[in-house]
Amino acid sequence: MNKIVRFHELGGPEVLRFEDVPTQQPGKGEVRLRVQAAGLNRAESLYFHGMYLEQPQLPSRLGYEVSGIVEAVGEGVDASWVGKQVATVPGFSQNRYGTLGEEAIVPVGVLGEYPSNLTPVEAAAIWMQYMTAYGALVHFGGVKPGDFVSIPAASSSVGLAAIQITRDAGATAIAVTRTRAKAAELLALGAHHVIVTQEEDYVARIKEITGGKGARLTFDPVAGSFVEQLAKGAASGGIIFEYGLLSGEPTPFPLIEALGRGISLRGYILLEITQNPELNRAAKKYIYDRLADGRFVPKIAKTFPFTQSADAYRYLESNQQVGKVVITVP
C-alpha cells in the first residue's frame, strides 16, 4: 500500500484527502517512481478548484512535478531506468497521472535526469519553471543581448527562472510585482530593475528603464486588464507572451497599440515545447547544462512535509512565496 492525495469534490485545499491505495504496476511505456519531493504549481490549484484547462474526473489525483527514484518499468521501457534519480517534466493529464503521493505512475517520456549537484527538493523545482520560461523567451522570443524583458509575477518560480534566463542571454530583466514586500529579494535574486505596480506607473517606469524603447519581450501569467499597460510599455514590434490567467479577469486585446506599433499578443503553454520531441530535447539540454554548471539555481521558498499537503497549497495560494513551494515525501 502507498498513500496518495486525492479529491472527491471541487474547492480549495480543504478538499484534498489522504488515501491508501495498492501499489500499482506500470503499464506499457510507463514507470513507477518512489516520490521524494513534489514541486507545487498554480496548475494544480486551478485544477482542484475546477478552473484549469483540464476538468477533473472525480475522484481525481493531482500533481505534475515530482522528483524520485525509478522503482519499476512497464512494457517497452528500457530497464536501465530502474534506480535512476529523475524529476518529471509536466505535460500529462492529472486525471490519468496525478503524482502527489508516495508513489507515482508516469509515462517514461516525461522523465528528466537531473544534475548530481541538485538535491531531490531542488530537482522538484526545475522543469516546469525553466522549461516554461525557455519556450517563450528563448525558443519563440529569441532573447538576446540588449533586449529588455518585462516579467510580471516575477516572484513566482517561473518568474525567477525567467530572470535567470534573461540574464544568461545578456538581456535586462525587469521584475514586475504588486507590492514593495518582495522588491529587495527580487533584486538580490538577479533582477536588474523592479517595478512595484501599486506604487509606480508601469508605463512611465518601463520607458525610463529602457530609454524610451519599451520591453521587446513581456512574459506575463496574470493577464486581465493590466495587459493594456503591458502593451503601452512594449517596444515597437514587441511580443507579449500570455501563459496564465492569474487575474481571473477578461483580457482585452490592445488593438490600438497592436495596430500602431506592430505589437503581438501571443498565448503560450508549456505543451508547445514538451509535446514536440525535438524541442523537448533541446530545452532539457539547455536547462540541464546551466543547472550543472551553476548558472541556474532553483529558489525554494518553503518546504512542507507530505502530511501538511493542504497547508502547502494554502501557502501557495497566499502569494507570500518567492520561489518554489515544495512538499517532501518520506
- Nearest CA to 112 out of 31, 4, 40 is that of 31
Residues 214 and 314 placed together within one structural domain of the fold: no
Residues 17 and 88 placed together within one structural domain of the fold: yes
Q: Compute the distance between CA of residue 160 and CA of residue 130 in angstroms, rounded to an integer.
A: 9
Q: pLDDT tens digits for the chain (330 residues)?
A: 999 999 999 999 999 999 999 999 999 999 999 999 999 998 899 999 998 889 999 999 999 999 999 999 999 999 999 999 999 998 899 999 999 999 999 999 999 999 999 999 999 999 999 999 999 999 999 999 999 999 999 999 999 999 999 999 999 999 999 999 999 999 999 999 999 999 999 999 999 999 999 999 999 999 999 999 999 999 999 999 999 988 889 999 999 999 999 999 999 999 999 999 999 999 999 999 999 999 999 999 999 999 999 999 999 999 889 999 999 998
CA atoms within 13 A on the CB side of 134: 23
Q: Compute the distance between CA of residue 198 and CA of residue 82 in angstroms, rounded to an integer.
A: 51
259 in any annotated domain: yes
Residues 18 and 111 placed together within one structural domain of the fold: yes
Supply 321's cell numbers: 512565496
* Torsion angle defined by CA atoms of residues 201, 204, 209 and 210, in that order, rounded to the nearest 10 degrees: 140
**What is the domain-level CATH number for residue 10?**
3.90.180.10
Distances (CA, A) of 157 to 212, 218, 229, 288: 29, 16, 23, 17
Residues 185 and 67 placed together within one structural domain of the fold: no
Residues 141 and 230 placed together within one structural domain of the fold: yes
Residues 114 and 153 placed together within one structural domain of the fold: no
277 in any annotated domain: no
49 in any annotated domain: yes
Residues 263 and 186 placed together within one structural domain of the fold: yes
Q: Compute the distance between CA of residue 260 and CA of residue 248 in angstroms, rounded to an integer.
A: 28
Residues 106 and 142 placed together within one structural domain of the fold: no
140 in any annotated domain: yes
Supply 177's cell numbers: 510585482
Residues 58 and 38 placed together within one structural domain of the fold: yes
Whole-prediction pTM value? Answer: 0.93
Residues 19 and 31 placed together within one structural domain of the fold: yes
Residues 213 and 240 placed together within one structural domain of the fold: yes
Cβ-based neighbours of 42, under 8 Å, separated by 6 or more: 156, 221, 244, 246, 316
Q: What is the pLDDT of residue 91?
A: 82
Q: What is the pLDDT of residue 86?
A: 98
Q: How many CB atoms are located within 10 Å of the residue 93 CB?
A: 12
Residues 177 and 194 placed together within one structural domain of the fold: yes
β-pairing, 2-7 vs 16-21, is: antiparallel
Dihedral sign, Cα of residue 245, residue 167, residue 165, residue 183: negative
Distances (CA, A) of 61 to 8, 25, 97, 169, 326: 9, 17, 8, 38, 17
Quote the domain boundaries for residue 171: 128-271
CB 24 within 8 A of CB 96: no
CB 143 within 8 A of CB 171: yes
308 in any annotated domain: yes
* Torsion angle defined by CA atoms of residues 309, 314, 320 and 325, in that order, rounded to the nearest 10 degrees: 20
